[in-house]
Structure 1
């Protein structure tokens, strides 16, 4: 019987090729998105699977109770916790304390910003990060690099034995290079370096039980030790360690454990968390895949029900011949499963096409183990999807009675005469249009951040990273070139994240405010086109000790309550409780970081040792000439280092335009619109086929082609208008939900909503118009000759 069902299914699919193509392509598109989400979910459960002792390794986290009795989970703990547990409890096999660090290292004449972890020797005994060469960084002042970071510093040269320099921590010897990880890890880093020197630098920050947010504690239990043994002792450890301590901003904290094998996916968000995927995010991704698949399922339901009259006669004949309802259900469900398996084959091909996309590799399938289990999940999921898509048509078709069939009643009418088929078309285009409005809003916001007015000069500005070249030497060389208007130096580029520090109004006072701190040369203000509203520019500095003259912006004047801009000139502020600086001028507010936050307090001082970039303002028309000459200067100073200069406009565009994300989102929306348009094409095609004799009669009676086209298409155009009316407010809300996180953002007006609706009506009208126009041109003799 099953073989017979499959044969009938294949014959029906081959007989109705257009409808079969629409259904197969639609289901394949939905399955592709779902497979990407399933692969990401599977990869989330595979995090840290390569560690040999993951089942007996635990991360200890802190539940912090605020002054208002609110409890917040922190992924971090005080530094002494791990050592205390190992010393006092024999069932602890190993303990490690890990501190995340964002630092600049200099190596091979290259100064690079890195994200790393300061680790102790126990780290390499707990975790099994594989080494491609060398040995772990268990000795003082040693470091291991990832392969990507090793290439950035040393190219193809052997990094083992090379030296990385840190301004405060000293020199580090490279002892190893990590291999590519078999799966992803919740710890993401560029390098791992010995914590000995780092502990000296941060002694006050990481050696106190009051500091619960400085690093991560991992413990490995001895084989056979239950996790409850660790859970039992943690409350007593907290009680003894915090007895007599006073916390300024919290009431206290407690500890609990997370097994490393269950760390990912994370059930909830934690403060100072690591990089394991969150369950809500995974569910959202899977939801997007299900929505895409649902749109395709709508097509299947729609087209199957549209052909219900012809299939109803088949059902009537089978029932008269003695078939019972469950047999008919089996036949229709078999057709649906065969269709889903064909769609699965196409989905595999589509998956191979999207796999190389940067967004897909970075955020979805990077590090996923493609073993037999994931392919089995894909196959099972497609079969289930086919069964679910076919259940509604199967129940409807198998429920027809022969008498109803003879009277051509299908019983498919629902609320107020609006058919189920038309409802599904509306839903398809509503979802597609809402997604399109959201994507266009996102793209416009990214373009606004890349091209908007920041308040500083960005045209014809060239930024050159100086690495370890002395800034004064490079600036002197560049000043000699013609076509360069000014040369200045800075610690960071405007438009980046910036360096956030706490500034005090007085050394011992409590009037503090966080502020962004930039180190710039005295030519930076005129070079960047900044406006002084009070005071004067900083004097030239030849050493860091002369950098106590500072400029602040108007927002800093308000934050520190310095009165007016004129009143602020001459007043003193304190950096790091140890350095007093004098305000010599106030600059007009401008946007110097991301558009996500409003203008914050800014402090500019002249500290040459912190300079990382040289910025050149170039005369109009001299861009190519200056670029070529700057490259020659760089080649002379650093013959073996690549030139990495970049125009400010290009930097801001690369910083804020996430083309890979937009491309992937565009692909999803394109699939959604394709599914909707193909479903609409199928409906229009079937409708025109059923009305072919009516068209012939009307043409014989003198109807024009344009009248026939409008007659055939007006009901479908109404559906598009209804979809647009429903989607516009929903799309507006979804767009503003995205823009809500930006302090400065675009508006959602006619340019967004009108364009999206125009695309919807254009695609829908082309789909409807071309098919109905072709039907209206048909020769009436061909359709009426048998009458």
Structure 2
């Protein structure tokens, strides 16, 4: 029986090739997106699976109770906790502290910003990070590097025993190089520094403060056979003993709880200061996108199968008269859907090979995921289940036909529910596709706006050069001699990036500190970037004293800083003082007109500009019109002479802003999803129009014989489908508006949701749908009526 099912199913699919192709392509497109989501979801459960004793390892979380009694969970915990647990509780085998830090290190005439973790010696006993060379960093002023970081600093040379330099920590000796991790980890870093290192007094005080629950992570390894409850029960008493005499500034207090390491990824709860494990919300969103794309394809299958119900009606009637029961007919139709799903699985695998190399797919969805037999089996089972689910509705409808009705007259058969269902599915397909198009267009317009908008500073014909180990003044002197160079200046960061925030007070002992961004530049920077000085004077040149003390005492601020620190107006602010991080008093030399210097997600924040050559990381060069190519070529030659072993990484400021904000890999992947959704919808519509014209071929012949024009027949055949497109647009436009507004509201400065966005989306919907309908109906209208009426 099963063999007969498969044979008959294959014959039916081969007989209706167009409908089969539409269904196979649609299901394959939906399966591709689902497979990518499945791979990412599976990979999220594989995080940190290379660590030994995962079932005995736990992370300590902190639940902070605010003044308003709101509880905020943190992935971090107080740094002294690990030592107390290891010392006082015998069931704790190991405990370790992990503290994230961003710092700049230099060595081998190279200088890089790195993301590091400071760790205890026990870190290497709890976790399974293998070493390819050397030993763990357990002694003061030692570090182990990842392979990528070691190659950045030392190339192919052995880095063990070499020294890295850091301004605060001094010389740090490399003791080892980590092997490549066999799976992704929730801890992402460039190096691991020993916590035994001589940190600054402020850092050491922070590590010992029980009120500071934001600085570090705490991991505990329990002895074999110890339940997690044993650790959970002692945490309240630990917190009480440590904090009952402490005064908290912004919160009532906190409690600690245990998170099993095996349940760390994916993250079931949103935590503050979370590490790099995937969030369950993001995974659900990915799964929803995949299922939605697959659902569009399932709509096609249901639509086209029900549309062909009249041609299958007599087959069902004859089978029932011959003795077939309903479950046998259901099995026949389900066999067809399973064969379709298997064909779609094969096409999906081919499509997947073309999509895998896309940067977005490699970076976010399948990077590091091993496509093994388990994942393949999951995809095969998913495909078969999808095919079965897609075939349930048509199988139930078709197998329910009554022989007395279908064998008496095909023309008398009516499936009211089926017809309304098919129309609803077409509307849903195009409405979903149009909503996705509005969202994608809103995102693209916002990214282009951020890449091309007027920031308030000069962006054209400005060359940015990362300095690495070349002294800023030396390179500036060389470049300043070139013809076509207008101004040259050094800066710590590039405007348009996020920058670094500092706590700033108007008075040293004041309690009302505010966050401000601090940039290091020189006096030529205002002229280089065409900034406007509203009051006061420019920064003074750097002196030996100012360099030794960490920057000039005179600073520039923007208008927003004047408002935030309540300094009066721009003229009144000049000469007043501010305190940076409670340690450095600076005096305001001048006030700059506000300009956008960070992400467009934020409104303009207070800005402080200080002349501090020790922090210069970039050289900015303004170039006269027409001299861009010559200056760039000459600058490359200068760079090659000063730093022959480092590639030139300079770029124009406009290119930096475009790369910083456009995210082409994200946009390309979203465009692919949109293309798939519209392709599925248009192919489904094509199948419906094709079947509709086939069933009305004699009607068309009679109308042509009676004198109907081609345009009249085209409108007759297509008007119902055009009406469905208009209904889809009426549903999609308001929902798309809400989706676009929700996305753009994340930005302090954004493009308006203008009429052109909806006009373009609506026009695209009508164009694609109209072409799909019009081409097929026009061909039907041109057919010779003698062919269709020959048998009448």
TM-score (structure 2 length as normaliser) = 0.97
Q: 1:412 aligns with which of 409, 412, 415?
A: 415
- Asked if 2 retains the 8 angstrom alpha-carbon contact of 1:520 and 1:606, the reply is yes
- Asked if 1 retains the 8 angstrom alpha-carbon contact of 2:555 and 2:610, the reply is yes
Paired residue total: 785
- Aligned position for 1:177: 177
What SS does structure 2 have at the residue aligned with 1:703?
Answer: coil
Residue 646 (1) aligns with residue 646 (2): no
| The 10-residue stretch of structure 1 (439-448 or 137-146) with the greater mean CA deviation from structure 2 | 137-146
- Aligned position for 2:46: 46
- Aligned position for 1:310: 311
What SS does structure 2 have at the residue aligned with 1:196?
Answer: coil
CA distance, structure 2, for counterparts of residue 329 and residue 418 of structure 1: 20
* Residues 701-728 of structure 1 deviation map (CA, whole Å, 9 limit, x = unaligned): 2222222222211211111111111111
- Aligned position for 1:147: 147
* Residues 350-370 of structure 1 deviation map (CA, whole Å, 9 limit, x = unaligned): 122211111111111112232
- Aligned position for 2:511: 510
What SS does structure 1 have at the residue aligned with 2:122?
Answer: helix
Residue 522 (1) aligns with residue 527 (2): no
Q: 1:744 aligns with which of 749, 760, 776?
A: 749
- Aligned position for 1:188: 188
- Please state how far the C-alpha of 1:446 moved relative to its aligned partner: 0.5
CA distance, structure 2, for counterparts of residue 351 and residue 424 of structure 1: 27
* Residues 537-587 of structure 1 deviation map (CA, whole Å, 9 limit, x = unaligned): 111113324601111000000001011110001111111222111111100
- Aligned position for 1:393: 394
- Please state how far the C-alpha of 1:691 moved relative to its aligned partner: 1.1
Q: 2:627 aligns with which of 613, 618, 622?
A: 622
- Asked if 2 retains the 8 angstrom alpha-carbon contact of 1:118 and 1:198, the reply is no
CA distance, structure 1, for counterparts of residue 777 and residue 368 of structure 2: 49
What SS does structure 1 have at the residue aligned with 2:275?
Answer: coil
* Residues 89-124 of structure 1 deviation map (CA, whole Å, 9 limit, x = unaligned): 112111110001111111222221111211111111
Q: 2:773 aligns with which of 758, 768, 775?
A: 768
1:373-384 map, 5 Å: 373-384=374-385
Q: 1:719 aligns with which of 719, 724, 731?
A: 724
| The 10-residue stretch of structure 1 (135-144 or 313-322) with the greater mean CA deviation from structure 2 | 135-144
1:547-586 map, 5 Å: 547-586=552-591
1:208-227 map, 5 Å: 208-227=209-228
Q: 1:601 aligns with which of 585, 601, 606?
A: 606
- Please state how far the C-alpha of 1:224 moved relative to its aligned partner: 2.1
- Aligned position for 2:237: 236
CA distance, structure 2, for counterparts of residue 491 and residue 265 of structure 1: 37
Residue 290 (1) aligns with residue 291 (2): yes
- Asked if 2 retains the 8 angstrom alpha-carbon contact of 1:199 and 1:206, the reply is no
- Aligned position for 1:755: 760
- Asked if 2 retains the 8 angstrom alpha-carbon contact of 1:504 and 1:573, the reply is yes
- Asked if 2 retains the 8 angstrom alpha-carbon contact of 1:144 and 1:174, the reply is yes
CA distance, structure 1, for counterparts of residue 334 and residue 596 of structure 2: 60
| The 10-residue stretch of structure 1 (195-204 or 663-672) with the greater mean CA deviation from structure 2 | 195-204
Go from structure 1 to structure 2 and tell me whether the alpha carbon gap of 1:239 and 1:410 turns closer, same or farther (over 3 Å shift).
farther
Residue 10 (1) aligns with residue 13 (2): no
- Asked if 1 retains the 8 angstrom alpha-carbon contact of 2:499 and 2:517, the reply is yes
- Aligned position for 1:688: 693
- Please state how far the C-alpha of 1:147 moved relative to its aligned partner: 2.4
What SS does structure 1 have at the residue aligned with 2:257?
Answer: strand
1:304-703 map, 5 Å: 304-405=305-406, 406-408=408-410, 409-414=412-417, 419-543=420-544, 544=547, 545=549, 547-703=552-708
- Asked if 2 retains the 8 angstrom alpha-carbon contact of 1:265 and 1:277, the reply is yes
Residue 709 (1) aligns with residue 714 (2): yes
CA distance, structure 2, for counterparts of residue 448 and residue 687 of structure 1: 45
CA distance, structure 2, for counterparts of residue 666 and residue 155 of structure 1: 38
- Asked if 2 retains the 8 angstrom alpha-carbon contact of 1:447 and 1:656, the reply is yes
CA distance, structure 2, for counterparts of residue 293 and residue 782 of structure 1: 39
- Asked if 2 retains the 8 angstrom alpha-carbon contact of 1:551 and 1:604, the reply is yes
CA distance, structure 2, for counterparts of residue 252 and residue 775 of structure 1: 76
Go from structure 1 to structure 2 and tell me whether the alpha carbon gap of 1:131 and 1:357 turns closer, same or farther (over 3 Å shift).
farther
CA distance, structure 2, for counterparts of residue 176 and residue 672 of structure 1: 50
CA distance, structure 1, for counterparts of residue 631 and residue 784 of structure 2: 70
Residue 62 (1) aligns with residue 62 (2): yes
| The 10-residue stretch of structure 1 (150-159 or 244-253) with the greater mean CA deviation from structure 2 | 150-159
CA distance, structure 2, for counterparts of residue 90 and residue 509 of structure 1: 45
CA distance, structure 2, for counterparts of residue 616 and residue 195 of structure 1: 41
CA distance, structure 2, for counterparts of residue 453 and residue 198 of structure 1: 46
What SS does structure 1 have at the residue aligned with 2:582?
Answer: coil
What SS does structure 2 have at the residue aligned with 1:197?
Answer: coil
CA distance, structure 2, for counterparts of residue 241 and residue 569 of structure 1: 46
What SS does structure 1 have at the residue aligned with 2:588?
Answer: strand
Residue 82 (1) aligns with residue 113 (2): no
* Residues 600-647 of structure 1 deviation map (CA, whole Å, 9 limit, x = unaligned): 100011011111111000000000100011111111111111111111
Structure 1 gap segments, 5+ residues each: none
CA distance, structure 1, for counterparts of residue 86 and residue 49 of structure 2: 25
- Please state how far the C-alpha of 1:3 moved relative to its aligned partner: 1.5
CA distance, structure 2, for counterparts of residue 716 and residue 441 of structure 1: 28
CA distance, structure 2, for counterparts of residue 198 and residue 652 of structure 1: 39
- Aligned position for 2:134: 134
- Please state how far the C-alpha of 1:411 moved relative to its aligned partner: 4.6
- Please state how far the C-alpha of 1:407 moved relative to its aligned partner: 4.1
- Asked if 2 retains the 8 angstrom alpha-carbon contact of 1:96 and 1:119, the reply is yes
Structure 2 gap segments, 5+ residues each: none
CA distance, structure 2, for counterparts of residue 771 and residue 363 of structure 1: 41
* Residues 133-192 of structure 1 deviation map (CA, whole Å, 9 limit, x = unaligned): 333222222222222223332333333333221111112222322222221111111221
- Please state how far the C-alpha of 1:413 moved relative to its aligned partner: 1.8
CA distance, structure 2, for counterparts of residue 452 and residue 282 of structure 1: 33
* Residues 9-43 of structure 1 deviation map (CA, whole Å, 9 limit, x = unaligned): 11111111110111011111111111111111111
CA distance, structure 2, for counterparts of residue 565 and residue 6 of structure 1: 83
- Please state how far the C-alpha of 1:410 moved relative to its aligned partner: 4.5
- Aligned position for 1:91: 91
What SS does structure 2 have at the residue aligned with 1:366?
Answer: coil
CA distance, structure 1, for counterparts of residue 695 and residue 161 of structure 2: 80
- Aligned position for 1:268: 269
**Structure 1 runs of 4+ off > 6 angstroms?**
none
